[in-house]
Amino acid sequence: MKNVNLLLILASLCAMTSAPMLAAQDTHEHEENAEHQNHEAAGEHEEGEHEEGEQHGGHEESESAHVEISANMAEQTGIRSREAGDGTLIRTLVSYGKLTLDPDSIVHIRARFPGQIVNVNAGLGDSVEAGDRLITVESNDSLQTYTVTTPISGTVLERNANLGGVAAEQTLFTIVPLDTLLAELKIFPGQRQQVAPGQMVRIDTGDTQIDASIRDILPQGDDSPYVIARVQIDNSDGLLAPGRLVTGHIVVERMEAPLVIERRALQSLDNSQVVFIHEGNAFEARPVELGLTDGEFVEVLSGLRAGERYVVDNSYLIKADIEKSGAEHAH
C-alpha cells in the first residue's frame, strides 16, 4: 500500500513539472507559426505592392504619351494643327546678291532744240507721271518756247537743268521707275549647271519674301569667277531700295511625296522625333520615321497616316507639359 501511494505521489510531481514545459513549447510553436504567417502575409503584401507599382508605372507611361488640353486653352496658347497629306518637296540652291535699278528702264531726257531754260517744274527725287512737264525751254532759233515732258512714270534720279541755264545736248533729267527692281545674284562655277533663265526663285530681303523667276544670266567681264542671275522684283509698294542685300533660293528640283508634314512641327522626345497627334482634346506624342526634306517640309515614311491632324504651331508647349507630367510622376 505504501508503494502504491509513493507511485501516485511521484506521478503527480511529474505531471506538475511537465505541464509548464508543454505550455511553453505550445506557446513557442504558436509564436513561430504566427511569425511565419505574418512574414508570409508581409511577403504577399510586398509582392502585391510591387505589382501595383508595375501597373502604376504602366499608367505613367500611358499618361506621359499624351495630354488633355481644352479647345479654349489651345486657342489661347496658339496651339494649332493641320491635316497631314501629300505634298511637293522643293530642293533649292542658295545664292547671295543685292537689289539694283533695272538699266533697261532708265530714261535719259534731253532738249529737242538748244535754248534757254525759262521754267523748271521737277526737282531731284520728285515722283513724276508719264506726260508731266519737266522744264520749259525758249528755242535759240525760233525764240518760241516749248516744254520737255517725261515719257514714263518714275523718280527723278538726276537733274542737270536750272532756271536760266542752257539746254543743249546734255542729259537734263534721268528718270527711273522704282516699282520694278532687279535682284542680281552671284552664281559660282559649282552652281552654274543647275541655274537657267526661267527658274523660279524666292528672294529673301530680311523683311519679306518675294517669289519671282530668273530673267537672264549675264557673264562678268572683269575675270570674275561668277556670273550674275538677274531676277525682276515687283516693288509697286515702294518698300525696297537699290543696294539692299538679299538671299536667293533658286528652285532646282521638285519631288512629289505621298505624305509630308511641316518640319517645324517636329519635337525631340525620349530620343525620338515625334509629332503630336490632335484628336478632340487629346494630344498624343507619335514617333515618326522621316525621309527627304527641303528644309520647310519633310517626308514621313511611317508613324503617321494621311488625314490625321498634327500640331504645327507651338508644339513645344505640349512637349513641356508632357515632360513636366513625367517628372511629377517620377517623384
For residue 39, pLDDT beyond 50: no
What pLDDT is stored for residue 322 in this prediction? 86
Least trusted range by pLDDT, from 12-26, 163-177, 208-222, 241-255: 12-26
Which has more confidence, 188 or 46? 188
CB-based contacts of 146: which residues, under 8 Å, 6+ apart?
Answer: 112, 113, 136, 137, 139
What pLDDT is stored for residue 3 in this prediction? 40
Asked if CATH classification 1.10.10.10 holds for the domain at 92-102+180-255, the reply, yes or no, is no
Read off the pLDDT of each residue in 49-67 and give the average, rounded to a whole number.
44
At 26, the pLDDT band (50, 70, 90 cuts) reads very low
**CATH fold for the domain made of 67-88+256-330:** 2.40.420
B/e letters for 162-188, b = 16+ CB within 10 Å, e = fewer, are eeebebeeeebbbbbbbebbbbbbbbe
Are 130 and 152 in contact by the 8 Å Cβ rule? The answer is yes
The pTM for the full model equals 0.62
Cα 97 to Cα 245: distance, rounded to the nearest angstrom: 6
For residue 56, pLDDT beyond 70: no
What pLDDT is stored for residue 329 in this prediction? 61
At 331, the pLDDT band (50, 70, 90 cuts) reads low
CB-based contacts of 70: which residues, under 8 Å, 6+ apart?
Answer: 281
For residue 184, pLDDT beyond 80: yes
**Residue in the structure block whose three cell numbers are 486653352:** 73
Chain segment 197-225, per-residue pLDDT in tens: 999 999 999 999 999 999 999 998 777 89
Chain segment 165-182, per-residue pLDDT in tens: 999 999 999 999 999 999
What pLDDT is stored for residue 325 in this prediction? 73
Angle at 41 between CA 37 and CA 45, to 5 degrees: 170
Mean pLDDT, the chain, whole residue set:
83
Residue 52, H or E segment = helix 2-64
What pLDDT is stored for residue 66 in this prediction? 80
Which has more confidence, 19 or 180? 180
Read off the pLDDT of each residue in 234-263 and give the average, rounded to a whole number.
95
- CATH code at 104-176: 2.40.50.100
Residue 313, H or E segment = strand 309-313
Chain segment 79-119, per-residue pLDDT in tens: 999 999 999 999 999 999 999 999 999 999 999 999 999 99
Are 187 and 229 in contact by the 8 Å Cβ rule? The answer is yes
Task: Tell me the pairing of strands 66-68 and 145-149.
Answer: unpaired
